[in-house]
A and B are shown apart, each in its own frame.
Chain A
Amino acid sequence: MIQIHVLEGAALVWSAEDAREIRERFRLVGTLVGALTRKPRQNARLGLPLQLLPEEARLLAELGAAVLVRRTETQPPAEGEELTQASLVEAYQRELEESYQEQQRLAGAERGALLAQLAERIAQGRARRREQRGEMPDTVEDSGLLDSPFVLPRGSMMVQLPTARWRPGRVEQVDWTSPSADWPHAGRPAHEARYRVFRELWGRGYYLSGGSKFGGDFLVYPGDPLRFHAHYIALCCPPEAPLPLHALVAATRLGTSVKKTLLLCSPGAGGALAFTSLQWSGLQ
């Protein structure tokens, strides 16, 4: 069962396996919003958690594939063990020191092997330099390099920063059908309208993602967004809402200049959804 953590209306997936399943099995894409631990100061490539649109989270919950959960405040200690902050810090420091010793040992061994490999070339270079300086050959300083003890500087140590919580926190399930502080979308007419359109388009086999970059509600792809550009910018409008013409022109013109069709979606007669495509007419 996929766990979707909700926090003030945002739906987050922290598990990498769940994120993969969501994309491969359910054709839902989401957005990665976390910092990558090895490359934190950029946002070209982001990492977990995966943030889902409210519509995506609701779809998974409706299909019974996921539950919405929320962190509970209290953190009871597991197995009766009293874990204080200090003991946790101590354990962490101990692990760090063990890791450092092992890394030093490995680095020293590797360095020794490398020097042994290049020993002949080093000796030749030494002999040449001594001839240039006009000294006697066979001085004692020959093998000095291999004897000095190797110390791995602390700054070069590799440190692992765990990105998964080593002890899962306590969570409680959230009912997605009724509005709450962490999941306020249930029952809101705007959300319900968008969800209807989302479900219909998803049901037709499209991949969908957020459309805010192009001023729409969703972007509609014929396949995985990693392989295709979007074909449509979907705009959900209630059937009776007035559409000012200049807004329509702006949206359609934007769509034309980025090679996408604007798709107006609204509930039509008889419960079905009505879709209207808008394109530039091409009349010069």
Chain B
Amino acid sequence: MDEPGCSAPGTPPSGREPEPRGSPCGNWMATHPKLTEMMSLDVADSTQVYAAFLVYLDLLEGKNWYNVTCVGLAELQLVCLRGREREAENLQVVVPTPVHMSFTHQRLREIMQKACIPQDETDSPLSVILAIVESDSTVVYYKLTDGFIMPDPPDDTEDMDNKQWRKKRRKLLR
């Protein structure tokens, strides 16, 4: 379509130049108070701010998180979000990023050290959630943790294919 990034249908074609992909435009987004707040932090470029805004909306509306706030990290040039997945849980840090931004391992560790909330009671390892935003507004969330985190053990009954499991049981009980 003519104006990438616009979600409102029936937008009248205006005389202004098309906005670069990944930037907010159109009616309701540009005047959203949260977006203007993020922009006013003035720490990151517009694509990262737009990504942060999309993640903010997704966390609140799509994932039903609680107490989501935005934080500007000047030295990293990023807008981060903090929120709780459930009401009683600890705050987690979410780092939104557009997909074309490239990171080095060193930068990822820097982000972990600077963006993470120090959990002073426990010495749990530094951890952030990286929220990667595609140009079509798809967001994928991946967790980065310092150190070695073992994968979840397989849950036996869930993983077994029901049909195979029934066959095995029949053979066993015969």
Chain A proximity mask over B139-166: 1 for CB below 8 Å, otherwise 0: 0111111111111101000000000000
A231 and B103 in contact, given A249-B142, A276-B112 (Cβ under 8 angstroms): no
**Interface members, chain A 217-233 (any B CB < 8 Å):** 231-232
Task: Check A279–B103 contact: CB distance below 8 A.
Answer: no
B residues within 8 A CB of A277?
A: 144-149
A241 and B104 in contact, given A259-B152, A283-B63 (Cβ under 8 angstroms): yes
Cα A242 to Cα B103 in complex, Å, equals: 5
Task: Check B144–A276 contact: CB distance below 8 A.
Answer: yes
Nearest neighbor of A242 in chain B, beta-carbon distance = B102
B residues within 8 A CB of A266?
A: 105-106
Chain A proximity mask over B87-121: 1 for CB below 8 Å, otherwise 0: 00000000001011111111011001000000000
B residues within 8 A CB of A275?
A: 146-148
A interface secondary structure, majority: mixed
Cα A240 to Cα B140 in complex, Å, equals: 24
B residues within 8 A CB of A246?
A: 99
Nearest neighbor of B132 in chain A, beta-carbon distance = A245
Q: State which of B112, B129, B145, B151 has its C-beta within 8 Å of the C-beta of A260.
A: B151
Chain A proximity mask over B3-46: 1 for CB below 8 Å, otherwise 0: 00000000000000000000000000000000000000000000
**Interface members, chain A 10-57 (any B CB < 8 Å):** none
Chain B proximity mask over A250-284: 1 for CB below 8 Å, otherwise 0: 00100100011101101010000011111111111
Most buried by B among A240, A249, A264, A281: A281
Most buried by A among B63, B105, B150: B105
A residues within 8 A CB of B129?
A: 281, 283
Task: Check A281–B141 contact: CB distance below 8 A.
Answer: yes
Give A residues with C-beta under 8 Å from B: 231-232, 237-246, 248-249, 252, 255, 259-261, 263-264, 266, 268, 274-284
Task: Check B105–A248 contact: CB distance below 8 A.
Answer: no
B interface secondary structure, majority: mixed
A268 and B145 in contact, given A231-B151, A245-B101, A245-B102 (Cβ under 8 angstroms): no
CB distance from B136 to the nearest CB of A (A): 14
Q: How large is the interface on B (under 10, 10 to 19, 20 to 34, 35 or more residues)?
A: 20 to 34
Nearest neighbor of B125 in chain A, beta-carbon distance = A277
CB distance from B3 to the nearest CB of A (A): 25
Cα A261 to Cα B143 in complex, Å, equals: 11
B residues within 8 A CB of A264?
A: 105, 108
Nearest neighbor of B92 in chain A, beta-carbon distance = A281
CB distance from A279 to the nearest CB of B (A): 5
Q: 9 closest pairs, A vs B, by CB? A: A281-B141, A277-B149, A242-B102, A239-B106, A281-B143, A277-B145, A283-B141, A266-B105, A261-B151
CB distance from A281 to the nearest CB of B (A): 4
Cα A94 to Cα B108 in complex, Å, equals: 71
Task: Check B140–A249 contact: CB distance below 8 A.
Answer: yes
A residues within 8 A CB of B142?
A: 248-249, 252, 278-281
Cα A281 to Cα B145 in complex, Å, equals: 11
B residues within 8 A CB of A244?
A: 102
Task: Check B148–A268 contact: CB distance below 8 A.
Answer: no
B residues within 8 A CB of A282?
A: 143
B residues within 8 A CB of A248?
A: 103, 142
A residues within 8 A CB of B112?
A: 276
Task: Check B102–A276 contact: CB distance below 8 A.
Answer: no
Nearest neighbor of B65 in chain A, beta-carbon distance = A283
Cα A240 to Cα B108 in complex, Å, equals: 11
CB distance from B90 to the nearest CB of A (A): 15
